[in-house]
Amino acid sequence: MACTRVVERVCAATGGIAAAPSRFEPAFDVRGAGVLWALPALLENGLLTHTKSCFQLPKGYYRMVQIFLLLAFMALARIKTVEQLRYQPPGELGKLLGLDRIPEVRTLREKIKTLSEPDHVHEWGRPNPPGFALSRDWMKADPSAAGLLYVDGHIRAYHGSQTKLPRRYVSRERLCLRGTTDYWVNDQLGRPFFVATTPLTAGLLAMLRKEIVPRLLEDVPDQPSDEALAADPSRHRFVIIFDREGYSPDFFKELWEHRVACQTYDKYPKADWPEAEFHDCSAPMPHGQTSNLRIAERGVRMSNGLWVREVRKFNGLAESASTPRDTRRRS
């Protein structure tokens, strides 16, 4: 059963040691050892950052660092559930952690339950003092990428029977299924900063108002000072991008009261613009490509008196009532 460090296990069971140290030994043909190539990237992204201050485990054979690394290696090795560890060689995976074997499934479940207490997770993920936030660390590491934020919702279907969550439409399944909605906040390159999860069906607009925007006002680094905002009436703190679900002129006005700009698609586009208004434009993409577009821009006054910029892309088709257009409004 790959249980070779008997003395240390006895000491851990009797309270003689707080946890077993990681001790690596030369080995050949270790199954799944390729995941160790990703260890520097995991550490660089903050896998073990602030864990000692936010999480605690009782004394035992396995250390908290070993549990975190095991869960990360499981994700890299496409082991999607703890139950699937029953069919994996425990000794081979243990060598990746510097141990004789990984914990039993029941033991690992108990460790995860202790680590996943809501208070611990919130301290690790949220920025409010005295907790620490990985999202805040990531934003500070690249402040320019945090100035343009994309918010997108994804439905995570629930197939269990312990609770009856509200139903919502899942586009990839074309069905109404029970589940929760995850609202991801990403930078301009698509790298996630944090996620807000809700089991209710309040929608993107409610989550932006109550959860996402207040948190971004605290998290986003290098925001202009109040004096700089007062000196330039058109200057903004940062930009939020979201889809048509968040379209609301009243919400745009609320955002601008905080000097937050937004970009979204026009939910109610009017008549087509003349082709003569469109001009060629080349835009560099994040990964080095160049996108060639024909765009036009107008200033538009919304129903509540707010002035916004409306940008349209010419699709090259004949104008008709069914012609698809990319109509985006910026406030």
Tens digits of residue pLDDT in 202-241: 788 888 998 899 988 988 888 999 999 999 998 999 999 9
With cut-offs at 50, 70 and 90, classify the pLDDT of residue 129.
very low
Asked if residue 223 lies in contact with residue 245, where contact means CB atoms within 8 angstroms, the answer is no
pLDDT, mean of residues 135-152: 82
With cut-offs at 50, 70 and 90, classify the pLDDT of residue 320.
very low
pLDDT at 119 over 80: no
Lowest-pLDDT choice from 78-82, 87-91, 218-222: 218-222
Asked if residue 240 lies in contact with residue 216, where contact means CB atoms within 8 angstroms, the answer is yes
Q: Can you give the pTM of this predicted structure?
A: 0.72
